[in-house]
Structure 1
C-alpha cells in the first residue's frame, strides 16, 4: 500500500481443473507469484473446485479436498502481507455454502458465504447450496481454529476496508456491497462465475461500473474462465477493476474479438482510497444512508506492507479536464456546448424580446468560445445571429493578428460588428489620475505618440494600473450598452487572472466552469464539427495562438509581448493542480508527486513543478475575493468555483498549510 493511499488490486482468472482442488491451488499459487506486488489478489467463484462441479458438490471427498487446498494456499501465503481471496464450498452443520475465503500472511482471516443464489435458466445453485441470511454461526472450526464466518465480515488494513460479495449478489436489486460500503468498506470484491452470452459482457461491465460509483468505492471483479466445464455454457474469464464509476483496468475475455489465448487472465491497477474518502466526506447523502444498515459489521484486521518506492500502476491524466480518447472528447465537447447554450438561452428568455447581446471579442480563446456558444444558441433557437453585438476594443497591447482574427470570425458568424479604440479614454484616465504608464509622462501627449513610446519600453516592464485601466474601460463600454456576455474561464477564476470589476464582471458568463485547457479543445472542436472550412481555419488559428491578455504593448516588431504562461506558469500545470485540489481534495505533496508521474506536453523539472504549484496556491488563496462576487453561469463539469454552488471559502483564509 502506497503512503499516498494507493492500493494495488489484481483480479485474476486462473485455468481451472473441475473437481481437482489440489491442482487448482497450484494454479492459484502460480498467479500469486506473478503478482507479489499486489496488495489484494482476487480469484473467481468456487475457484478451488471449479464452479461447474455440479452434483460433485455433494461428495464429501470434494469438500475435504477443497479444504485441504485452502490450507495449502494459507500456508504458502506466510511471510506475505497480501490479502488473497479464493472461492470454495464450505460445509457448516448440515448446510453447504458457496463461500469466499480471505487469507493474509499465513492466516485464514474469515469466510463470507453467498447471499443470493441464481436458480434459473442455466444456473442451479440452490440444488447444492444454501443462501446465507445472517442466521449462520458467527464462527466455524477449521483445523481446530475458530474462524469468523458470516455475511457481516469486513477486512481492514489501515484506511483500506474490504467487503466481499459473490457473483449473483451484484445482480440483485439491493446488492450486499451497498450495505458494506455504507458500513465503511471502500474496496469491494466480487468472486464470480458469469456465463458468456451475447451482450452480457457489456451489461456486466455496466453493473460493476455503476456499483462502484453508487458505493463511491473500488470494485474488483474476477470471473471464471473457459477451462470450466463447457457442457452447456462457456465462461469468459472476464476480470476488471472499477473506481467510483470508471473502469480502470480489464482483462481479455471470451468474445472480445481478439485472438484466442490459453492460460490465465488478470486485471491489475492501483486504486485511490484517499480520493474515495474525500468523495464520501463531501457527499453528505452517503453518510445519511447509515441509518439503513440492518446489521453491525465485524471488522477483521490484516496487514498490508507500506510501499513508498513502488511505481504507480495507474494512468495519471496530464489534462484531467480533457479526455484522452478522441470519441469521449468529442462527446464531452458536444455536451458542454449543449449545457452552455441551454443555460444562456434560458437567461436570454428573461430579457426583453430582441434585446441585443454584447460581447467583447478580442481574438483570444475565451471570447472566441463565448462568441461561438452564443452563435450556436441563436442557430438552435432560430434567433438571428445579428442579435449578438461583437465589439472589438483595441488598446495599447492589441496586435494585428488577434484583431484580424476577431474581425474575421465575427464576419464569418454573421454577428453585428463594432470597433471602439479604447486608447483615448485610457489616456484621459492616465492624465486624470496623474499616472505615468510604464514610467512615461502622459501629460501633453496624444495617443499615437504614447503608443510609440510604450512599444519602446523594456519587455520586462510592469505596470498593474496601466493594465487595469484598459480592462475596466472595456467593461465600462460594454456594460454601458446593455446585456454583457462574460468570457472569463475557470482557470482564470482560480488564479485571479482578471481585473476586479473589469473583465471579472458581466451579466452572464457561459465559460465560468470551463478550464483553459478545455477551452482550447472546445474552440477546435467547434471548428471541426459545427462550421464550414473558413470558420474552422479561423478557430484553429485562434486556438494555436499564444495566450495573452494583450494589455502590455507589443514588441517593436508587432508581436505579442505579454505571455500569460510565461508570467504565471503553464496552464496545463495549473489545471492539473486545480483539478486534484478541488475535485479530489489531495494534499499538495500528493499533487506534486502525481505531477511527476504525468506525461505533460513537455517535460517539467522538479523546480518548475514546485514553483508553479507555489504560484497556484498563492494566487488561489489571495484571489478568493474575486470569486465571491462573480456573475451567474452554468456548471458544466465536476469542478466549479461558484460561491453560490460548489466552492465557498473565506476570502482571508491563510494558505500557510498548503504552501508549506
Structure 2
C-alpha cells in the first residue's frame, strides 16, 4: 500500500489517484476466429463489452512453421495503426444493435487505463506489437494464445511474458487454449499474469477442467512509476506513432480499490520433464477419448520401454480422472460415466477405472520370450488393465503359407539358416500381423465381452524411431493415437524411472 501517492494526468486524459484494478483471466477455448472483412479472411480477436462489439483486431503475423499453416487459411493484417469500418452481418446486428464496428490495429481506451491485444504468434516476434503499444501508453496487454504443449516449452513462454513487461513495464495477461480437437496436438493452458517483469498469477499447465480463471489485483500506478523512471524508454516513447484509440465508457477500477491489497510476485513452479510426460499426454488422451465417444483404449503391450511408457501414461490419466472426481469435478464424472456407459458409475480407484477403459494385449509368437510376457502381465496387473495374451503364430504361418504356395519358397529366420532378407521379412510379418490383430481386438473385444462400444488403438513408436525411420511400417507406428510419438527414448527412460516411484509400479524395474 502506497502512502501519499502523487497524482498523475494519465494518457487517457483524466486524473487518477493510486488506481488499482482487479484483473480476471479466463482460460478456455479460443476467443478468436475467422472474420471476413472486405471478402478477405482474417484471424481476429473480437473484443466486446455488455453485448457490444468494441473492436475487431486482426492478427498481423501468421504461424506458418512446424505444426501450423495459418497462411493456408488466413491473410495477415498489413496496415499498422490503420482502422477501417467493418459492416456486421445482419444476424449479429440483431444481437448487438450495431451496424458497423472498428476493424484494425487499434487499442481500447477506458476511463482509467489503455488496453491492447496481441494474438498468439505475435508474442514470439522480434518486434512484437506490445513493444510499440507499451511505448504509446498501453498499460495492459492481453493475449489469447493457441500454443501447443512441448517438453520444456513452458520455460520459453514464461520468459517471453516476463520480458514483455520487464523492459517496457505494464501488465500482461496470457491465456492459452486447453485440450485438443481430434488432433495430435495438446494445448496445455499454462495461463499467467505478469507485472513489470514479475509473475503474479500462475494457472495450471495440465488440468482436466474445461475452464480455469486466474485473478490478480494490481496497481496501475506501479506501471506508471516503473515506466517513468526509465529515462531511455521515455525518450523512445516520446517519438512513437500513436495507435487509434477506441474510447470505452468503462472503468476497471474504482476509488474504493485503493484500500485493496495487491497481488504479490510469485515464483513460477515448473514441472520436470518426467512430470510433463506423465501429465501432458495423459490430459490429451482424456480429452480425445471423451470427444471420440469411444469406450477406451487398446494397447499392444510388449513389455519393453516404449509400450510400458504408453501404459503408464494411460494409468496417469486414470489417476487424474479419479483425482478430479474426488475434488468434485462433475463434468469429468459425467464424461467417465458416458465412456463406461453407466450413469451411476463412480470410479473407486485408478486401477478399477483402468480396468474399464484400458485393454492391454501381449501378442506372442513362438519367438517371444517368457521374460517379456511375464513383465507385460505384471505391469497390467499393477495398473489394473484388462489383459489379453493371444498367440498370433497361426496368422503368421498363414501369411507365409500364401507366399510359399505362390513361389514354392519357404523363408526362414536367421536362427534357422535363413538369409538377412528372409529374417527381416519374417520379422516384419510378425509386427504387421500384430497391428491387424490389435485393430480386430479393438473393434470386437468389448463385443465379445457383452459390452458396448469400441476401443482406440494406441501406438508406441517414439520420436527417435519416427525421425530415423527405424521401425516397421504399419506395426506399432500405425495406431489411432500415439502418446509417446513426440518423446525421445532418453526422456522415456527417465519417465519409466519416475513412474516406478510415482505410481508404485515395481514391474518396471524387472
Fold similarity call, TM over 0.5: no
TM-score (norm 2): 0.45
Structure showing greater radius of gyration is: 1
The answer to which structure, 1 or 2, has the higher relative contact order (CA under 8 A, 6+ apart) is 2
TM-score (norm 1): 0.35
